């Protein structure tokens, strides 16, 4: 088997594993979104600005990083930031 084919087999195996465990991803994503909403529940949207949940990263077996974006609708500035949630 060539290196390229071997790499594709590994990618396909990884995709299959992720697909089979999608419910786990969905549960963690929901938890991360709830953490974002709880942290920024009092944030009021100003005219022409946005603040939204983007995604999460697993930092360790007991830490999730919640990533969010904020900026202006005109994209005068567009930032990404995060906070960590200990489980």
pLDDT tens by residue, 6-65: 888 888 888 888 888 999 999 999 999 999 999 988 776 667 788 899 999 999 999 999
Quick one: average pLDDT of 64-84? 90
What is the span of the domain harbouring residue 57? 3-86
pLDDT at 86: 96
Q: What is the CA radius of gyration of the chain?
A: 18
- How many domains are contained in the chain? 1
* CB neighbour class for 66 (10 Å; exposed up to 12, middle 13-18, buried from 19): buried
pTM of the model: 0.78
74 or 71, which is more confident: 71
pLDDT at 42: 75
H/E run at residue 75: none
Please give the pLDDT value at position 59. 95
pLDDT at 78 over 90: no
pLDDT of residue 3: 65
């Amino acid at each position: 088997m060539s290196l390229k084919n071997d790499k594709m087999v590994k990618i396909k195996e990884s995709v299959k594993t992720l697909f089979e465990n999608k419910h786990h991803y969905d549960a963690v994503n929901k938890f991360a979104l709830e953490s974002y909403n709880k942290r920024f529940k009092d944030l009021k949207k100003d005219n022409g600005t946005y603040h939204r949940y983007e995604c999460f990263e697993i930092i360790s077996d007991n830490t999730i990083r919640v990533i969010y974006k904020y900026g202006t609708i005109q994209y005068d500035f567009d930032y990404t930031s995060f906070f960590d949630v200990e489980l």
